[in-house]
């Protein structure tokens, strides 16, 4: 899968793309991530990407022309790609969830548009984007963080990205969604010391059933304490 990210702050992604599974997935050819500087698609000497909104407003709005040119350029260079979508990140968009991640993971390419300032010219949402997405009921300074969230959520669903297929199979069901349950590791007993620790309990213990080695009881405990994140 290929991810194309359109942004006016391309360096924001530098450290994120060079760490952990995302880095390995790129090195192994499982995903491709390309960052496109929106200013490269302007025509004036000042590389203007924003302007004042008609009717007045609190801030500047990203212009439609450079975004249109960026999308056209990306698609023109990849004409054979059929299964692709253009996503615009906006607080007014549909809330991103695991169900969407599953559907989007079946695509060949995802092009994301990262808004900034007071927003993006509405004609981008109306005529260019295939989807408008939000990652939560709050406002951010731009779409770069949502782009990272979407890329990581989708990338981990691509076979081979996590390294072990069973990591996905055992925690994800098509019928229910994404399954989470409490997890513990060594030591079995932890004695917290320090000024800021909670007064009680004096010992933080791992539930006995997880130390028992009884697989059936462990599975029952996990089902009892699991939380299903709906698709």
Residues in binding site for S-adenosyl-L-methionine: 115
CA distance 129 to 109: 14
Element (H, E) at 169: helix 166-169
For residue 182, give the nearest of 226, 224, 119 by alpha carbon.
226
Q: Which two tokens stand for residue 172?
A: 């994800």
Asked if 11 and 41 touch (Cβ cutoff 8 Å), the reply is: no
∠ CA(55), CA(146), CA(109), 5° rounding? 105
Which ranges constitute the DSSP H helices of 52-118?
Answer: 64-77, 98-104
- Known binding residues are 115
CA distance 204 to 221: 18
Q: Which two tokens stand for residue 5?
A: 């990210």
């Amino acid at each position: 899968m290929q991810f194309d990210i359109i942004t006016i702050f391309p360096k924001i992604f530098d450290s994120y793309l060079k760490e952990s599974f995302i880095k390995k997935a790129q090195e192994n050819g499982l995903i491709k991530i390309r960052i496109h500087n929106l200013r490269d698609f302007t025509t004036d000497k000042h590389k203007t990407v924003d302007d004042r909104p008609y009717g007045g407003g609190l801030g500047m709005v990203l212009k439609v022309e450079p975004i249109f040119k960026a999308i056209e350029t990306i698609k023109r260079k990849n004409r054979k790609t059929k299964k692709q979508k253009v996503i615009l990140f906006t607080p007014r968009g549909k809330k991103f969830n695991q169900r969407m991640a599953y559907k989007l993971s079946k695509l060949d390419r995802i092009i994301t548009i990262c808004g900034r300032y007071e927003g993006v010219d509405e004609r981008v949402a109306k005529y260019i984007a295939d989807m408008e997405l939000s990652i939560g009921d709050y406002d951010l300074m731009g779409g770069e963080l949502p782009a990272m969230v979407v890329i990581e959520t989708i990338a981990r669903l691509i076979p081979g990205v996590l390294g072990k297929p069973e990591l996905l199979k055992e925690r994800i069901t098509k019928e229910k969604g994404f399954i989470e349950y409490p997890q513990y590791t060594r030591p079995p007993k932890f004695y917290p010391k320090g000024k800021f620790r909670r007064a009680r309990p004096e010992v933080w213990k791992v539930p006995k059933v997880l130390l028992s080695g009884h697989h059936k009881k462990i599975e029952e405990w996990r089902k009892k304490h699991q939380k299903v994140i709906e698709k």
